[in-house]
Amino acid sequence: MEKTRKLVLFSCLLLVSFLASSSAQTCLNHSFSNRQYANCSDLPALNCFLHWTYDEAAGTVEVAFRHTGTTSSRWSAWGINPSGPSMLNTQALVAYVNSSGIPHAFTTSIDSMSPSMQQSALSFQVPSLSAEFENNEMRIFAVMRISESLLATNQVWQEGPVSNDQLMIHPTSGDNMQSTASVNFLTGQSGGTSSGSSRTRRRNVHGVLNTVSWGILMPLGAITARYMKVFKSADPAWFYLHVVCQTSAYAVGVAGWATGIRLGSDSAGVTHNPHRNIGITLFCLGTLQVFALLLRPNKDHKYRLYWNIYHHSVGYAVIILSIINIFDGFDILKPDDHWERIYIGILIFLGVVATLLEGFTWYIVLRRKNRGSDTDKRSHSINGANGVNGFGARGQDV
């Protein structure tokens, strides 16, 4: 029992470590109240972040630029520059809080090294532009209609002081001189700490974690418990292998479940109710199974039979629901067909192995039963013979 507790504790520590590491990427952890973006990047200077979604059919890029740790007395700007990673020729989106306390956003083309920072048209259309300032964070939201030649380009961002609604020159040292990077709106790559196609990647991570844990490790752990314990020499090794397999599956599965919850909270208006409900049910049942290990009665305990019925019933229910939900996840993610075929192949392999082991197990059990029956018959015959001979001898003695 003590070893079991240690195994469960170790799995929980692995889960905590995973969740802690996954929370390190700032742009991935940010969610907007009424918007969602396919990609994001942690820009390497000035505490800034870029979120965007490219709509190939419309030829537009919807962007959200975030400048954190700023104040209402400073302006923020972000733009793209096909000429190079520099301020000159940057097509910029600028925002500041005006004297009325209202965030104001406008476009400006940086055409000199001493720009006026006055509103002007850009080399491409910007059908939508707005700004928000809250909790010392400036956000600029825009829709840009750009040509294919601007999909892979340079990005430049900057900040500086505001005085009486006039945008003053930005500092010319430190991070203010390091605020350039590349960006590819099509592939999702950025010169900053890019998330790639962040939402897509998180969806894929969610799918992989849950497929490996609930869909592979859980059935494998069940196979280990059902068929290894038939061999007396494998006791109690089979039990510890079962515990390691199932608790590892639970730890990885909870990480996948938490990723799914996060995806749901970041995707307002996008719901997959059956998938979500089965996932929550699996989390609850899996948690019960882990705690059941800690409450496992001894083999000779009067409640052991009821515990076994509960443990087996919940375990098989988890496996069945897991497989159903994984295939539902394939329908949602729509990955390349070969990934679903690979998982089907794994299930077929596990099914064939389980079938062969089931037959072999019954062979072992029936063989032992027959041996036991033969032994009882021989013992009965010997006892019977001894009884007759003994009675006859005593009778003769008499």
Q: Which residues are annotated as a binding site?
A: 206, 242, 275, 311
User: CA-to-CA distance for 65 and 43, rounded, in angstroms?
Assistant: 10
Name residue 136's amino acid: N
In which element (H, E) is residue 73 found? none
* Structure tokens given for 251: 């730890």
The HSE-up count of residue 32 (CA atoms within 13 Å, CB side) is 20
The answer to whether 158 and 79 have CB atoms below 8 angstroms apart is no
Question: Which residues are annotated binding-site positions for heme b?
Answer: 206, 242, 275, 311
Name residue 379's amino acid: S
Tell me phi and psi for residue 164, to 5 degrees.
50, 50
User: CA-to-CA distance for 393 and 391, rounded, in angstroms?
Assistant: 5
* Structure tokens given for 314: 């919940």
Cα R_g (the chain), whole angstroms: 33
Check the CA dihedral 174-179-182-187 and report its sign. positive
* Structure tokens given for 341: 């075929």
